[in-house]
Structure 1
Amino acid sequence: MSIHKETLTGQTLLIDADDTLWENNIYFERAIASFISYLNHREYSPQQVREKLNQVERETVLSHGYGLSSFRRSLMECFERLSVEDLTEEKRERVLSFAQSIADQEIELLPGVAQTLPVLASRHRLILMTKGNEAEQADKLVRSGLAEHFTAVEIPREKNPDAYRSVCARYELAPHTTWMIGNSPKSDINPALAAGLHAVYIHHHHTWVLEHEHFDEAPSGQKFVELESFSHLTQWL
C-alpha cells in the first residue's frame, strides 16, 4: 500500500539501525563464509553447514539475545557439533577470530543516510529503535556520528508488538502519527503494523536470513510504504 506523495510534518519516526542506517549483516556473512571454509566439512555441503548454523543461531538468540557475544557462542557451538576433530585452543582462537573481524569493522553508513537524517530531524521527532546488545548498539551509534539527530534511543531485547506499544506509551506517541522505518519484515514492519503504527520498509540486499518474513497487510487506516533507498524518505515524510 502506498500513500499520497505529500511530505508529512510533525510525525514521530522510529528508525532501525543495523542495515538501515549502516552496514551490518555483510560483515557477519563474510565471517560465516570464513567459518564454513575453515570447518571444511567432509559430509555436509557449505549450504548444509549454513543451515546448521542458522539453527544454532535461532537457539542462541532465544537464550542469549542478539549481538556479537551471541554470534561467538553460535560459531563455537556449531563447530563443536559438526567438527570430527577435538576443539583445541588453536582452533578455538581461530573460530573466535571470525567474530572478532566484525568487531574490528568501522561504521559504514548506508547511501544517503548522512544527508537524509538531518532533513528528517528538522521535520520530525526521531527515535532510534534497534534491538540487540545494548552496549554494542550504543557504541555503534556513537561511532556513527548520527546520535545528535535522535531525541531518544530504545534498544529492546526483541522488537515485537508489545515493544512498540511500550515505546509509544513511554513517549506518549499517537500511533496514527508514528512510523517505524527499517529493513526487517520480521522485526520492523510486521510487529509495528500489529501495534497500530505506520511502517516504511527500506530494501537491503543482505538482510539477515532470520529476519526474513512475508509482509503482513497494513490494517485499515494504517500505511505501509516500500522504498529502495533511505534517501527516498524525504519524498514521503
Structure 2
Amino acid sequence: MKQKIMFDLDDTLVHCNKYFHFILDQFADLLYAWYSSAGITRAQIIAKQLEIDIARVQVHGFKSEHFPQSLIDTYRYYQNVTGRSASPVEEDKLWKLGNSVYELDVEPYPAMDETLDSLASSGHELHLYTGGDSLIQYRKIESMNLERYFQDRIYVRLHKNTDALEQILKDGKFNRATTWMIGNSIRTDVLPALHCGINAVYLKQETEWTFNVLPIDAKPSGALLTLTELPQVPPAIDDYLNEFGMRISG
C-alpha cells in the first residue's frame, strides 16, 4: 500500500510565519513612532497591514513583493488618515525591511529529515507542493537539500488553490485514493485536498496566519487527520492504512 505523499513547505517542513512576525514587530515599532502622536496604536497598525496583505494575496497570489508593498501601503494609509507628510526615505526603509524577510536563514521544523527519511524508506513517493515566488522557494529547497527526497517532484505555484492542485493531480495521473496532502494551511492545503478527493493531513501550528484559517466544511472521501507535530505523520499514515486494510479485508 505505497502512497504518494505531497508536502507543503512553509510552516510544514520549514519555519516561515515566525520570520514575518519578526519583521512585522519592527514595522509596527517604526509606524508607532511616526504616528502615535495622532493616536494610532500598534494593534491598529498590525490589523491594517494584515488586511492589506491578505487582500493582495487573494487577488494576485503569493508574489514576494506583496509583503514589502503591504508595509508601504499601510504607511500610506495612515499618512492619509493623519495628514503626516510622506517621505521617500521612510518608504525605502520599509521596502528594504519587508524584503529582508526573504534573506533570513531557513530553519527546518524538528525532525524534518527523520520524518522524510521514514516515509521514503517505507517506499512512499514524496512530492513537494508550495506556494510562492519560485526563486525564493527554490532557495529554501536548496538550502535544506530537499531535492534528495523530492527530486523532480516539486511544484511551485503563485496561486495555491483547488484549481492548481487539480492540475497537478491530472498532469501526474495520480491515484487519488493513495495520494496525500500534508500541510498547515486549511485554505491552501486541506480544503483543496478534500475538494480534489485525496487524503489530507492538517498539521496544525500554534500560531497561524489568519489567511490560512477557515472552517473545514468539505467532506473527506478518504482520510482527514489532524496532527500537531511533523514526526507524527509517518505513524499516523501507517495506522490509517492498517485500519483501512483491515476494513477492506473484513
Measure the CA separation in 2 of the matches of 1:98 and 1:78.
14
Measure the CA separation in 2 of the matches of 1:37 and 1:76.
14
Measure the CA separation in 1 of the matches of 2:110 and 2:63.
24
Offset of residue 46 of structure 1: 1.9
Give the aligned partner of residue 96 of structure 1: 95
Give the aligned partner of residue 3 of structure 1: none
Task: Give TM-score scaled by structure 2 length.
Answer: 0.85
Alignment of 1:171-190 (within 5 A): 171-190=172-191
| Structure whose CA Rg is larger | 2
Measure the CA separation in 1 of the matches of 2:18 and 2:48.
19
1:131–1:155 Cα contact (<8 Å) kept? yes
**CA shift digits 1:3-41 (9 cap, x unpaired):** xxxxxx411111100000000111111111111111013
* Cα root mean square deviation, aligned: 1.7
**CA shift digits 1:195-234 (9 cap, x unpaired):** 1011001121222111111123533x41100111111111
Runs of 4+ in 1 over 3 A off after TM superposition: none
Q: Highest relative contact order (Cα 8 Å, sep 6+), 1 or 2?
A: 1
**In proportion to residue count, which structure has more helix?**
2
1:126–1:150 Cα contact (<8 Å) kept? yes
Relative distance call for 1:62 and 1:227 in structure 2 (3 A) is closer
Give the aligned partner of residue 235 of structure 1: 235
Give the aligned partner of residue 4 of structure 1: none
Task: Give TM-score scaled by structure 1 length.
Answer: 0.90
The percentage of counterpart residues that share the same residue type is 26
Measure the CA separation in 2 of the matches of 1:63 and 1:228.
30
2:186–2:212 Cα contact (<8 Å) kept? yes
Aligned length: 228
**Structure 2, unaligned runs of 5 or more:** 238-250
Relative distance call for 1:215 and 1:133 in structure 2 (3 A) is same
Measure the CA separation in 2 of the matches of 1:53 and 1:191.
26
